A = this chain, B = another copy of it.
Amino acid sequence: VSSPLKKVVIFGVGLIGGSFALALKRAGAVRHVVGVGRRGLDAAVRLGVIDAVGAADAATLGDADLVLLATPVAQIETIMQAIASHLGADTVVTDAGSTKGDVAAAARRHLPGRLTHFVPGHPIAGGEKSGVSAAKADLFRGKRIVLTPLPENDECALQRVRDAWQSCGGVLSEMGADEHDRVFAAVSHLPHLLAFALVHDIAGRPNAEQLFGFAASGFRDFTRIASSHPEMWRDIAIANREALLGELDAYRAKLDALHDLLEQGDAPGLEAIFSAARESRDAWLKKQAN
């Protein structure tokens, strides 16, 4: 067990940033948490999520052990620029963005002298609710945390980030930023795009009201992620455009194949795909339950 961090600074004290603070505190892994951001900070202090409000300045950052960037991805570049000259020599910076290639590239642009101490990360946790009032100490318990270390990363800096997430109960993985972005294009970004597309398709029909009127629980669950934050998903789609286009192409090819089977009335062909899909999904669920 490593000794507690003296000071952690969190940019963006919402669901993710706030839960990170609460989890570290509950684990006794931090002494002092400072929040920086455009909103929610008063509430965060009142709720005991953070101990103080800071700013992108030397007073806040010069003696910080760890800085988490947990704002929407679109703000990360601006924050990197703002903090670059105020970080302490030993301050480690990490982030919680859903895409990693763009964050690594931004770090190379704006924190070129700090690449030993910038460790990109992505906690696979969240929820439909956002904001600090939804934050909870066990949000990351048993959840996967993916780090995509830079080749330049200092081993101690990397270990500090690993330790922090482990204190939060996260299950750590490490991979390259490109690999991360391809994996999440497939299992997260594409499904979001598909759900948005279906709801948009239905909503644009002359008989949309009738259609929604007969939509049941299958439709509700299938489209749950279409209630996700539009700006956040716009940013993710743009940031991970290349991998997402590749996934979309693969999926369109699969739909073309289903279209042909359907057109030909190929019942065994359809059943083979449905059965294989069900088996794969059920095997996955079983593994998750273990």
B203-A234 in contact (CB<8A): no
A278-B238 in contact (CB<8A): no
A276-B183 in contact (CB<8A): no
Contact of A230 among B230, B249, B275 (CB under 8 A): B275
Closest-CB distance, A226 to chain B (whole angstroms): 5
Contact of A244 among B173, B251, B262 (CB under 8 A): B262
Question: In the complex, what residue of chain B is closest to A216 when comparing beta carbons?
Answer: B124
In whole angstroms, how far apart are the Cα atoms of A237 and B61 in the complex? 60
Closest-CB distance, A101 to chain B (whole angstroms): 15
* Copies of this protein, total: 2
A258-B197 in contact (CB<8A): yes
In whole angstroms, how far apart are the Cα atoms of A255 and B249 in the complex? 10
Q: How large is the interface on A (under 10, 10 to 19, 20 to 34, 35 or more residues)?
A: 35 or more
Question: In the complex, what residue of chain B is closest to A190 when comparing beta carbons?
Answer: B198
Interface assignment of A105: CB less than 8 Å from any CB of chain B: no
A203-B270 in contact (CB<8A): no
Interface assignment of A194: CB less than 8 Å from any CB of chain B: yes
A273-B200 in contact (CB<8A): yes
Interface assignment of A271: CB less than 8 Å from any CB of chain B: yes
In whole angstroms, how far apart are the Cα atoms of A269 and B144 in the complex? 32
Interface assignment of A187: CB less than 8 Å from any CB of chain B: yes
Contact of A221 among B201, B225, B249, B252 (CB under 8 A): B225
Contact of A254 among B201, B207, B284 (CB under 8 A): B201
Interface assignment of A195: CB less than 8 Å from any CB of chain B: yes
A5 contacts which chain B residues (CB < 8 A)?
A: none
B218-A224 in contact (CB<8A): yes
Closest-CB distance, A198 to chain B (whole angstroms): 6
- From 240 to 258 in chain A, residues with beta carbon under 8 angstroms from any chain B beta carbon are 241, 244-245, 248-252, 254-256, 258
The 6 closest A-B CB pairs, nearest first, are A203-B280, A230-B274, A199-B277, A234-B271, A230-B275, A187-B215
Beyond known contacts A143-B216, A192-B218, A198-B254: 15 more, CB 8 A cutoff: A124-B214, A187-B202, A195-B277, A197-B254, A199-B278, A202-B280, A203-B277, A215-B284, A218-B224, A221-B222, A221-B224, A222-B225, A227-B282, A237-B262, A252-B255
The residues of A with any CB-CB pair to B shorter than 8 Å are 124-125, 143-144, 146, 173, 183-184, 186-188, 190-203, 205, 207-208, 210-216, 218-228, 230-231, 233-235, 237-238, 241, 244-245, 248-252, 254-256, 258-259, 262-263, 265, 267, 270-271, 273-278, 280-282, 284-285, 287
